[in-house]
Chain A
């Protein structure tokens, strides 16, 4: 029996405000709240809300047979709590129906997995705590930023307790393996690796309304028969995409929501089921091993990191940002820590790409870089004020440890004194 595993990603980056160099050291607020709020409101009204409503309806009409996954970054959850709490409520309902799985992510939309192991780990914990706090769930299935995956990341995440990891089905990297099986990682043989079916996912996300596309027009019936025509033993079809594919890339007028709502009926009619990512990993035995020595993502044509760190601008920004990772970890200042997470957003790096700038509000890659670097310079100055770079990381660590231990020591001695006093 074939199964479809849907997973939708929700992430809303904070819009950066125009930040000129003469503000460095003067103004420490980097965001254009109005633009962020507007962007979020638009996303919610034309995409997120209609999608979540559609999922609710699909679950109800299929009598709970429709299952799927949802990935939401921690920073976006915070925004939703603040501006659109109704989204949180509806996700809560979906989660309690047990038909929707909230999968794990790094807290920010960050490439930390590639640049700072400790930070990546901290973000995973923070995100898990957030999901637990809001929805009372924890997941051992990981949807990394941009589906970033490599042998190294597999090993690391397995060690951190993630039993399943989602990755791009970039066949040219995975020596033309079919994405329609469950795999094991060569670096962490006990971890299941699910691969996105690129063709089918993209044919919905990007080509649903493309009249030049060979499958146009796509309807639910046709789509299901396409799945049925796949070889018998290929029994898991992973269809993952940004949630904004529904309502933004494909606006409501294209009929994408009706298409989605019609899917469970046709699928179940033809003996095709639905699974959440964790169920998908549990249900089928891993068939083969995948090896991915270099980072793989779902971005661009190269499916690597070139969209985010391919040029000098991106390299400099990344290098300067992650150079202070350890220092930020040592510090206690909450607003600094929040900025640290927000500034890691991979979208800001994407805006610095010359060929493909994504949804950049800036007029060129250079403009995006200048603005980001000015902000980063201010941020780095704040970090420096906390812990001057004249002290190196190890020394600092040792000092902090002594300070922390001192407190503990004092506490211990105090209790001892109390105990002794009592004895007297």
Chain B
């Protein structure tokens, strides 16, 4: 089985969860002996791990009449132009390469997938890692919506990363439920989990980590922190990351009078992230709308008890995490208080959470994707 995949991000150069998921899924799928994946990226950097798949740089494909096109590989202001160029590259690859199925990751690559489908006659599967409804808290950009909608309409099958996303796709994009499946994301096992240990410290650490934007619900975290600090001492709060709501959050923390216990260390990457998670007593992700949300799983890997919102896709597959509604600051504060005060629940979430997450494997997700391929090809 040869799959032609269109993606936008791939580690180590990633900007969000899409790259991590693309890597995990393809790696998981590559464990099937007859699975060959060609992964098209706008602009590879050359240091990607190519041991289990072939990476094709869109910027090194010669398009008739235009030659090789430059790509930023990011999310530039002329994103739509870049999407169009990527589609042009896809039309070349669709004729050159030999493949059985096309698989497009997220809306940026849907047009490329659709074009490849029309030129090759091969079926198209699109993978919805997020929709514009998640990104915009309902203020949908019509251009983006139209690209998403067209991709979904013309796809042979749609894979969503959670039931939550699946419902959005069915309800907001008018797709037939039979055409939409859920394949939950997984998490790559840590090569050396013992590397990350918790340092003894006087104060308990409660951590929020991610883009400080509307979608992630940072203001609810600040409010919950204020509630906890009203009642108890010896707890510190960390909001790591950056984003357009950061200054507002700093103001809010000051207004609540908790700035001395509320810290903003800025953007973190790589090992720093795991180190902070391993050192934290609580990880919290109060997202207003999260298609999946891989970071709670990463926190659980290093044994950090985790609180997530019901509005996060990963809540569907986790038992040993505390789930609250993102707006329910009382419940959130209560959960934080419990974890820092009652050792039984800390231990249970830490140990059983780690065990649970170690059993969520990309290879299993890969098998589910393969079953979908088989089903689509049989038709």
Contact = CB atoms under 8 A, between A and B. Distances in A.
Interface of A: prevailing SS = helix
Interface stretch (B76-84, B117-125, B160-168, B329-337): B329-337
A354 interface: yes
A313 interface: yes
Contacts of B129: none
Given A21-B338, A373-B338, A366 B333 contact: no
B334 A364 contact: no
A312 B344 contact: yes
A313 B330 contact: no
A366 B352 CA distance: 12
B330 A20 contact: yes
Interface in A283-317: 311-317
A313 B230 contact: no
A370 B347 contact: no
B302 interface: no
Nearest to A370: B338
Contact of A312 (B319, B323, B345): B345
Contacts of B334: 20-21, 370, 374
A366 B322 contact: yes
B309 to A, nearest CB: 13
A363 B349 CA distance: 16
Nearest to B342: A373
A133 interface: no
A186 interface: no
A293 B338 CA distance: 36
B66 interface: no
Interface residues of A, number: 21
A354 B349 CA distance: 11
A367 interface: yes
A377 B320 CA distance: 23
B323 A363 contact: yes
B200 interface: no
B36 interface: no
A252 to B, nearest CB: 36
A176 interface: no
B349 A24 contact: no
B348 A311 contact: yes
Contact of B319 (A314, A315, A354, A374): A354
Given A363-B323, A364-B322, A370-B338, A316 B333 contact: no
B344 A21 contact: no
A30 interface: no
Contact of B348 (A21, A22, A313, A363): A313
A369 B342 contact: yes
Contacts of A313: 344-345, 348
Interface of A: 20-22, 24, 311-317, 354, 363-364, 366-367, 369-370, 373-374, 377
Given A315-B344, A366-B338, A369-B342, 6 more contacts: A20-B330, A20-B334, A21-B334, A316-B345, A370-B322, A374-B338
12 contacts: A20-B333, A22-B231, A22-B330, A315-B344, A316-B342, A366-B338, A366-B345, A366-B349, A367-B322, A369-B342, A370-B334, A377-B341
